[in-house]
Chains A and B, each alone.
Chain A
């Protein structure tokens, strides 16, 4: 292993060490942070670290995309949902309903790491290349090489991704449509919002809406404490109850 580091230039080694630290530190942050907002920020760190390694390995375009799409879009989306749902309170890490789950998880994680490393060591990259073209050349920038490959050999998968994205957008719209109704409704008549949220088709929680209509309140804690199925109430951990009401106010 030491020999592999023998003729490495100092800047390269420095970049690698820093990037690795950022990546692993960020990843640990994601897993260990109780607060999901902090977790999301740690995720950003990891993603930037990965982008660094991309840059280091002649993947300029991918590094840019990594920062823009992951850091700029996906993580923002995460944060947006966290804020929207109001779950930016720390999760009760202390309570673990499943015995052995954590212990086994760590064991399995170690096992995964070990087996991957062993496997990678056995089947170390041989150096045989396929016909897709080089990663870098002195005359053509990386982005041109990538584009050449995508728009020639990989055109069909590329088109398929277009379809995939359309489907994803449609799916997201379908999933979110109720929410739109709720939002627009709640602007006009806040007292109805609960009905619309819970029972647009009369499927779930008919008792909720009925009760709400009778009491005619939607904003206060009374609505929340009363509604919901008993089992669900039992499932929630104690500290989440007030959180719910806050979130509800913010919603409406």
Chain B
């Protein structure tokens, strides 16, 4: 069963190729069904591989499917090889599972879009890249997938490329990702330079980390590494993760990326792509545990991002931007977990987050759909009556992300906060504050969208406005979407509710995820007593519920509180201006210098003078071409005589 591993990305690639080649012929819904089926195939193969892996003893749970040699250069050997170990299987399972649901949803959402097949081409290619990323057996192949998701996110964010803001957002995301890619590449170079290998060496990473600590040589990240090099590698990899996972200071692209269609936001910017950074850090976790400075940096950046993004989220008015900043915030939590050494907690949060964030995005998608492409939550309200399924599932998502017990978010976020507390109470305090903010801003959104008075009837003309490139029916009144769209919502809501069962903290026996990931990360040693855990858990619950209560009391019936939505936060702490002054202005100045000085003087000068030289030479030489054949014959004869003279002289 393990041999179906290669089919996991294979199915996605197949779907991509089919839709690419015959997508136009298949037309509106069929191309989407093919795309969805391909991802479903990937999911089934992942399940098969998963069970295959499960049937092995815990110590032997890794499997490498070596397809072919990709880059054999000197001592560098890079194979196209896929690695199945508990970590990659966890990732692959939720990536394919959630992607299948989002694909299904997209069939309904993208209905009657002009470029319907093209959308699924990008979608399948995206999932393929993501699977390559998580299943790769070495850093280089991971980087291939990394770049693949970057490129696909560019295509998908700029999907409505005729709209200026969408095109700009696509470029923004792409360029910001390049900064992270630079770090990733540098880290790969460093790793290869110091170890001579770029493979992860299967599930041995855990053992490797330990051998690193004891100073006996290992293979990959082996222990000739000085601690400085190790820190550098980890920090460079983290730079890559910052770019991809939208941590401070590179967060803003994720908010702008909401220009893409909503399924894109759900797939790329909630469930899969942005988690790549977290995955990468988890993958090198055994290394990271020996790089204390890097751990501190990661934890600090993570918690800071979580807090800042949460504050920004409290005052955004775009339904999707609130979710975007909440994603950034949640990713900050994950990095807090990574930095605290609570890898399992980070992965746990990633999985549950994939469920509830996909749910929230898809829910917002059906709201947007119903409102005729209106995204401003100030212009919604009271949708609960018109869209019962959407509102019910959306509220579940809200409670899950807020961390209200017993929803999944409570357990996963609790684990992360436990880890943070074990590292430093300050980290925990900021994280706890952020937890209140999370419950609050999501509550604000829920109340503004689904409760209170309806503010959309007065603006009925908005309903007929359509986004360019889309052609929805004009609705007289908001209503539930087709089953294609609400079915994924229900399934995701179900998992968002119960996903906590994966890793309950009460006894070691029911910490399934913990045990499952032990071969990768080793056993976790949390320096907190059991009673302390209970206290912390109770504290988390209280914080979450207090956030919900605050939101309810403030926003239940009031839809406009300017004091709680300061301009400062709406502008994302002035980060946009910082970008402008640090990057845009200098770049424009350089461009101006290049245009006015370098271009005119140096480049044009070189081009013009070389052209002038050629022209002058031609003018002089053209006289040789008299047009008289006899003249040419004379030249030949003179040449003959000269050759003969040479022969005489030589003889």
The interface residues of chain B lying within 8 Å CB-to-CB of A104 are 634, 638
A101–B631 CB distance below 8 A: yes
In angstroms, Cα B651 to Cα A115, docked, is: 12
Among B628, B630, B637, B651, contact of A112 (Cβ-Cβ < 8 Å): B637
B644 is an interface residue with CB less than 8 A from chain A: yes
293-316 of chain B: CB within 8 A of chain A: none
B617 is an interface residue with CB less than 8 A from chain A: no
In angstroms, Cα B628 to Cα A162, docked, is: 35
A115–B634 CB distance below 8 A: no
The minimal Cβ–Cβ distance linking B84 to chain A, given in whole angstroms, is 68
Complex: chain B residue closest to A112, CB-CB: B641
The interface residues of chain A lying within 8 Å CB-to-CB of B640 are 112
Complex: chain B residue closest to A122, CB-CB: B651
B644–A101 CB distance below 8 A: no
Among A97, A98, A108, A115, contact of B648 (Cβ-Cβ < 8 Å): A115
B596 is an interface residue with CB less than 8 A from chain A: no
Q: Given A108-B637, A112-B637, A122-B651, is A98 in contact with B631 using a C-beta cutoff of 8 Å?
A: yes
Among A97, A98, A105, A112, contact of B644 (Cβ-Cβ < 8 Å): A112
B651–A108 CB distance below 8 A: no
The interface residues of chain A lying within 8 Å CB-to-CB of B628 are 97-98, 101
Give 1 or 0 for each of B624-648: 1 = CB within 8 Å of chain A CB.
0010101100100110110011011
A108–B645 CB distance below 8 A: no
B634–A105 CB distance below 8 A: yes
A115–B644 CB distance below 8 A: yes
The minimal Cβ–Cβ distance linking A213 to chain B, given in whole angstroms, is 33
Complex: chain A residue closest to B631, CB-CB: A98
B626–A98 CB distance below 8 A: yes
A119–B644 CB distance below 8 A: yes
The minimal Cβ–Cβ distance linking B647 to chain A, given in whole angstroms, is 6
The interface residues of chain A lying within 8 Å CB-to-CB of B637 are 105, 108, 112
The interface residues of chain A lying within 8 Å CB-to-CB of B645 are 115
Give 1 or 0 for each of A50-74: 1 = CB within 8 Å of chain B CB.
0000000000000000000000000
B634–A119 CB distance below 8 A: no
Give 1 or 0 for each of A211-249: 1 = CB within 8 Å of chain B CB.
000000000000000000000000000000000000000
A119–B630 CB distance below 8 A: no
Complex: chain B residue closest to A123, CB-CB: B651
The interface residues of chain A lying within 8 Å CB-to-CB of B641 are 108, 111-112, 115
The interface residues of chain B lying within 8 Å CB-to-CB of A98 are 626, 628, 630-631
In angstroms, Cα B651 to Cα A122, docked, is: 8
Which range contains the number of B residues in contact with the other chain?
A: 10 to 19
A116–B644 CB distance below 8 A: yes
In angstroms, Cα B631 to Cα A112, docked, is: 17
A21 is an interface residue with CB less than 8 A from chain B: no
Give 1 or 0 for each of A100-140: 1 = CB within 8 Å of chain B CB.
01001100100110011011001100000000000000000
In angstroms, Cα B645 to Cα A238, docked, is: 43
In angstroms, Cα B634 to Cα A108, docked, is: 8
Which range contains the number of A residues in contact with the other chain?
A: 10 to 19
In angstroms, Cα B632 to Cα A104, docked, is: 12
70-111 of chain A: CB within 8 A of chain B: 97-98, 101, 104-105, 108, 111
The interface residues of chain A lying within 8 Å CB-to-CB of B626 are 98
The interface residues of chain B lying within 8 Å CB-to-CB of A101 are 628, 630-631, 634
The minimal Cβ–Cβ distance linking A44 to chain B, given in whole angstroms, is 24
Give 1 or 0 for each of B607-634: 1 = CB within 8 Å of chain A CB.
0000000000000000000101011001
In angstroms, Cα B637 to Cα A116, docked, is: 13
The minimal Cβ–Cβ distance linking A174 to chain B, given in whole angstroms, is 23
The minimal Cβ–Cβ distance linking A104 to chain B, given in whole angstroms, is 6
A118–B631 CB distance below 8 A: no
Complex: chain B residue closest to A97, CB-CB: B628
Complex: chain B residue closest to A105, CB-CB: B634
B647–A119 CB distance below 8 A: yes
The minimal Cβ–Cβ distance linking B646 to chain A, given in whole angstroms, is 10
The minimal Cβ–Cβ distance linking A18 to chain B, given in whole angstroms, is 30
In angstroms, Cα B637 to Cα A97, docked, is: 19
Among B630, B634, B638, B648, contact of A118 (Cβ-Cβ < 8 Å): B648
The minimal Cβ–Cβ distance linking B623 to chain A, given in whole angstroms, is 13
In angstroms, Cα B626 to Cα A24, docked, is: 32
The minimal Cβ–Cβ distance linking A91 to chain B, given in whole angstroms, is 13
Complex: chain A residue closest to B638, CB-CB: A108
The interface residues of chain B lying within 8 Å CB-to-CB of A112 are 637, 640-641, 644
The interface residues of chain B lying within 8 Å CB-to-CB of A111 are 641
In angstroms, Cα B10 to Cα A35, docked, is: 86
In angstroms, Cα B648 to Cα A118, docked, is: 8
In angstroms, Cα B283 to Cα A132, docked, is: 83
With a 10 A CB-CB cut-off, give which of A98, A108, A122, A123 has the most chain B CB atoms. Answer: A108
The minimal Cβ–Cβ distance linking A113 to chain B, given in whole angstroms, is 10
In angstroms, Cα B630 to Cα A115, docked, is: 22
The minimal Cβ–Cβ distance linking A74 to chain B, given in whole angstroms, is 21
The interface residues of chain B lying within 8 Å CB-to-CB of A108 are 634, 637-638, 641
The interface residues of chain B lying within 8 Å CB-to-CB of A116 are 644
B648–A119 CB distance below 8 A: yes
The interface residues of chain B lying within 8 Å CB-to-CB of A119 are 644, 647-648, 651
In angstroms, Cα B640 to Cα A111, docked, is: 10
The minimal Cβ–Cβ distance linking B116 to chain A, given in whole angstroms, is 52
In angstroms, Cα B457 to Cα A69, docked, is: 107
In angstroms, Cα B613 to Cα A174, docked, is: 45
Complex: chain B residue closest to A111, CB-CB: B641
In angstroms, Cα B639 to Cα A115, docked, is: 12
In angstroms, Cα B647 to Cα A122, docked, is: 10
In angstroms, Cα B630 to Cα A104, docked, is: 11
In angstroms, Cα B649 to Cα A122, docked, is: 11
409-455 of chain B: CB within 8 A of chain A: none
With a 10 A CB-CB cut-off, give which of B638, B641, B645 has the most chain A CB atoms. Answer: B641
Complex: chain B residue closest to A115, CB-CB: B644
The minimal Cβ–Cβ distance linking A99 to chain B, given in whole angstroms, is 11
The interface residues of chain B lying within 8 Å CB-to-CB of A97 are 628
In angstroms, Cα B644 to Cα A119, docked, is: 8
In angstroms, Cα B630 to Cα A98, docked, is: 9
The interface residues of chain A lying within 8 Å CB-to-CB of B648 are 115, 118-119, 122
Complex: chain A residue closest to B630, CB-CB: A101
Given contacts A112-B640, A118-B648, A122-B648, 19 further A-B contacts (CB under 8 A): A97-B628, A98-B628, A98-B630, A98-B631, A101-B628, A101-B630, A101-B631, A104-B634, A104-B638, A105-B637, A108-B634, A108-B637, A108-B638, A111-B641, A112-B641, A115-B645, A119-B644, A119-B647, A119-B651
Q: Could you give 19 example pairs across A and B, Cβ below 8 Å?
A: A98-B626, A98-B628, A101-B630, A101-B631, A101-B634, A104-B634, A104-B638, A105-B634, A105-B637, A111-B641, A112-B637, A112-B640, A115-B641, A116-B644, A118-B648, A119-B644, A119-B648, A122-B648, A122-B651
